[in-house]
Each structure stands twice: as C-alpha cells, then as structure tokens.
Amino acid sequence: MNNKKIAVIGGGSWGTALAISLSTAGHTINLWDIDKTHLDELTENRENIRYLPGIKFPDKLQISFSVEEAADGTDIVLFSVPAQHFRSALDGAIPYLKPEMILVNVAKGIEQKSLKRMSEIAFDKLPDARYVVVSGPSHAEEVGLGLPTTVVAASDELDLAETIQDVFMSERLRVYTNSDMIGVELGGALKNIIALGAGVSDGMGYGDNAKAALMTRGITEIARLGLKLGANLSTFSGLTGIGDLIVTCTSMHSRNRRCGILIGEGMRPSEATKKVGMVVEGMYTTEAAYQLAQQVGVEMPITEQIYQVINEKIDAREAVKSLMGRQKKHETEDLFK
C-alpha cells in the first residue's frame, strides 16, 4: 500500500491517536480542529496535552488551520468528532471534498433529533459518498501509545473497507473488514449505554455478578434492535459488538463507565458528565436509542431504565429493582421479537 495523504477532522483523543498511528505508519496527516486555541497548543507543543499528554507527534503529522487546508489534495478524510456534531462537521467539509476521496467516520453514536446513524447522515448529504466506518474496542490512550489494538472497517462497498484496512494496518493496529455497516455502527453506539449502566452498578458496589449480567443482557437488546433495523446477528458477537462492549464496560479509560460510576455513587447525571470533562456519548445515545426503540417497537429494558435514571425520573436503586423484578422468561425467547 502506497503512503496516503489523510485529513483528520477533530483533534480530540481519538482523532489524535489515529493521526499518530497513521503518521507513524508512514502516511502524511493534516490534523484540524474547530478550536483554534487547541490548534495553537498542538502546533506549539507537538503533542495533545489536553487529551493525550506525553505522546509526541511524528514528523508526518502536521496541523492545519482550516478545513480547506486540511483536505487539500488528500486521499482520505477521517472524521473524528462527537456524533452529535458530525452533521455540522460534514457540512463544513463538503465544499472541499472530491468525489474520489474516501470518507472515514470513527464517531460512535446516534443523532438525537433525527435518530439517524452517522452513515445515514453522510448519505443524506452525499448520496455517492465513498464511505467507511471504523469501530471496535479501541481506547485512544492505548492506540496513541502503540499498544496492540484490533478494529473493524465496514462499508457497503467491501473494496472500500479493504482499502482502509490496508491503510490503517500496522504492527500494532490490526484491521478486519465487514460489510454490515448497520451492525457495526449500532454496536459501537449502543454499547455506550450499557457502559453507563455498568458504571452505575460499580458505583453502587454491586460487584462482578451484576455487571456480567448487565453486559450479557445488554448485548442481547443491542442485537434485538440491530436485527430489527437490518443488521447481521453475527456482527454483535464480534469486535464491534461484544468486543467493544467488554472494553467499554470494564476500563477506567471509558468516560461512559466513569460517568456511570459517579451517578451510582450518588452524583446528579449533569454533574457527573461535567466532572468527566469530555463528551460522554452514552448520555446522548441513550436518549436517541430509547426513542428509536419505541419508534420501531423493540423492547430494550436496560436502555429504558438508564434513560429514566439519567433524566432523574428514578434513582439507580429503583432501576435495579425494576430490572430484577421483570416477568420471568426463557433466556433466549425474546431475541428475535
């Protein structure tokens, strides 16, 4: 694979980690962020002190001060912005995108107002986009350090996923391909809801048994919604399903789990989000998934209870009581309903 020129839109932890990984692999990176002060800091320090301190930028990682400059002459444009801001980021980039460019999105979420996945937004704006989603169990802190990580590149056009596989692959980053973009996107988005719940459980001191049950039943309801929306069931047993769920529910790198722990310890959800200090995607995705499940008629009891908790309609102990007291049933009877 020849070295590529890649624009990275979004200088948060994940965008920076991928920029470092890709530039270390020999690709030329133009990194841009909407926050000019942040760009000044990145330029001066040659590291992302805010989100990935101590990891110096390779020489092939350059800072751009406009989207136009970042995208000029690039082969790939990688969007790494919070899911709720993807639409506006794409709007800002569209004037500078060329038909031959591959668009890669690494955001994990569902847009609140429209209830759309990120690919649906992209194809609404650019029906002929060459679009790939990259997802999987991948904390930015570890990718930035070059620790072994495995992700998935998914696209409706498998050749595009294979191109991104070749570009992203390195000695420390392994990439699989998948043609089930719906399942990959939903797995990456919805696991953040379950991670919030896992954090709440930890914060309340409920132990490993409770968290294991929460994760297992969580992937069941994620798959249930996925099947209803056209996803492949096998995707949810892979890296972007159970794999991402495991890492997000068990690691202190997970801002969703950390936020849940604070809520479980008694902090108000709004205060917990503020204390985490970065975007907690699960707080937004819970709202969207709750509405989407109601819209398509899918039962998601864990999501419903977390929705009630983060909106302060019930406290966490009431949510646990509600989940534990649900009508008894066979373990697998409701997966396809």
Q: What is the CA radius of gyration of the chain?
A: 19
CA distances from 132 to 148, 182, 301 (A): 22, 11, 31
For residue 205, count other CB atoms closer than 10 A to its CB.
Answer: 9
Whole-number Å distance between alpha carbons of 282 and 287 = 9
List active site positions.
191
CA distances from 84 to 41, 93, 114, 155, 179 (A): 25, 16, 10, 21, 24
Whole-number Å distance between alpha carbons of 307 and 286 = 6
